[in-house]
Amino acid sequence: MHEARAPGAGPQPAGPRLLGDIGGTNARFGWQAGPQAAITQLQVLPCLEHARLEDAIRAYLHQQGLPPPACAALGIANPVTGDAVKMTNHAWAFSIEGLRAALGLDRLLMLNDFSALALALPALPPQALRAVGGGTAAPDAPRALIGPGTGLGVSGLLPVGGGAEAWPLSGEGGHVTLAASTEREFRVIQVLQARYGHVSAERVLSGPGLVDLYHALLALEGKRGIEIVSPAQVLERAGELPGSTANEALELFCGFLGSVAGDLALTLGARGGVYVGGGIVPRLGERLKASTFRERFEAKGRFRGYLQAIPTWVIDGAAPALLGAARALDLPVRPADPQAAASAG
């Protein structure tokens, strides 16, 4: 998390707020008339249609007929470790202070997009969550979050202050090394290793990853297959032909997702539940339930019982991370955030 403030601006400027969730493919924006106000004017802009993030923001404000906001909070799909931002899966790169000054904001808060989504978890309405498998969330326990999209977002929400508050993790868990659990997975990883060297979880648990899984299976079979270039095509063909390579690619995707989500739950002690977000899994409908996802989530040897008790949910709904971006603006400045503490203090 990193923020820039205008000289003389107070810690909590009043006035309208711009909220954003900036992914490698889509930039989602929303508007709040002030703190605690409802989020309105949701709009998704394709990143590729704008040369810079600043241009996308200006296009959003113009198209919605909105005045200049007083402050903004933007979740973005890359590590946010200082003033310089460079997206992992898109070309945008900028200075946070430069963007704040260009937009005339009193305050600009940037945070990782999945840290923003983690902050939104306690506020999601029940209808935004679809359970996959059993388990009951332990109150005041850590929660884990994972989401395949253009890349693989990972975060968690840790209770602090006796559970009265929670703090989001800002890691890069999408880039952990992918492990095989079956002979078939091992062979698929070997194909991907020849291409990428390091095979991270994101190399399969993302839109491009789903397409790569399909091509890796074709390579293993020595088949040509049909021309597939997008994850939407894999989903479409898998739905039409249960015996197809596309269907096996989707099954591998769900299995790997269960396995990586189970590892994350073990690492964080996420007895508060594991949430699956991002742009791909909500499109799978009942397919995730019918897949090996939950079996693989629980298949951790002596810790099967521990994982069986943890619920897993798919997050539905439009731009849930915007809710978390709004909450981030209201967080107290913490010593763990030295940049923000220095500028506030």
Ligand X SMILES: Nc1ncnc2c1ncn2[C@@H]1O[C@H](COP(=O)(O)OP(=O)(O)OP(=O)(O)O)[C@@H](O)[C@H]1O
Binding-site residues for ATP, in ranges, read: 20-25
Q: Which is nearer to ligand X, 54 or 97 (CB)?
A: 54
Q: Which is nearer to ligand X, 20 or 149 (CB)?
A: 149
Stretch that binds ligand X, among 122-130, 133-141, 231-239, 290-298 (CB under 6 A): 231-239
Sheet holding 71-76, edge to edge: 2-5, 107-112, 71-76, 17-22, 26-32, 39-46
Instruction: Give the distance from CA 12 to its chain's centroid.
Output: 27
Closest CB 81 distance from ligand X, rounded Å: 17
Q: Which is nearer to ligand X, 195 or 304 (CB)?
A: 195
Q: Which residue has the tokens 């269907």?
A: 247
- What phi, psi does 168 have (nearest 5°)? -85, 145
Sheet holding 152-160, edge to edge: 129-131, 312-315, 274-276, 143-148, 152-160, 165-168
Q: Does 324 sit near ligand X (CB under 6 A)?
A: no
Q: Can you point out the beta strands (E) in the chain?
A: 2-5, 17-22, 26-32, 39-46, 71-76, 84-86, 93-95, 107-112, 129-131, 143-148, 152-160, 165-168, 274-276, 312-315
CA angle in degrees (0–180, nearest 5) for 262-268-272:
80
- Report the residue number whose CB is nearest to ligand X: 207
Q: Does 254 sit near ligand X (CB under 6 A)?
A: no
Q: Burial of 184 by CB count in 10 Å (0-12 exposed, 13-18 middle, 19+ buried)? A: middle
Q: Which is nearer to ligand X, 232 or 331 (CB)?
A: 232
In the set 86, 198, 283, 334, which binds ligand X (CB under 6 A)?
A: 283
CA distance 272 to 249: 30
Residue 312: strand pairing partners = 274
Closest CB 120 distance from ligand X, rounded Å: 14
In the set 141, 232, 309, 333, which binds ligand X (CB under 6 A)?
A: 232
Closest CB 72 distance from ligand X, rounded Å: 18
In the set 20, 133, 153, 258, which binds ligand X (CB under 6 A)?
A: 153
Residue 32: strand pairing partners = 17, 39
Q: Which is nearer to ligand X, 56 or 235 (CB)?
A: 235
Q: Does 25 sit near ligand X (CB under 6 A)?
A: yes
Residues 6+ apart with CB under 8 A from 198: 177
Residues that constitute the known binding site: 20-25
Q: Does 150 sit near ligand X (CB under 6 A)?
A: yes
The two beta strands, 312-315 and 274-276, are: parallel
Q: Does 279 sit near ligand X (CB under 6 A)?
A: yes
In the set 20, 80, 89, 146, which binds ligand X (CB under 6 A)?
A: 89
Q: Which is nearer to ligand X, 166 or 246 (CB)?
A: 246
Q: Does 23 sit near ligand X (CB under 6 A)?
A: yes
Q: Which is nearer to ligand X, 107 or 203 (CB)?
A: 203
Closest CB 153 distance from ligand X, rounded Å: 6
Residues 192-221 that bind ligand X (CB under 6 A): 207
Q: Which residue has the tokens 């989401």?
A: 147
Q: Does 235 sit near ligand X (CB under 6 A)?
A: yes
Q: Does 328 sit near ligand X (CB under 6 A)?
A: no
Residues 6+ apart with CB under 8 A from 193: 199
In the set 13, 133, 135, 231, which binds ligand X (CB under 6 A)?
A: 231
Q: Does 75 sit near ligand X (CB under 6 A)?
A: no
Helix 207-221 and helix 183-196: axis angle, to 10°?
Answer: 110
Q: Does 106 sit near ligand X (CB under 6 A)?
A: no
Q: H or E element: which one contains 185?
A: helix 183-196
**Residue numbers at the binding site for ligand X (CB under 6 A):** 23-26, 77, 89, 113, 149-151, 153, 207, 230-232, 235, 278-280, 283
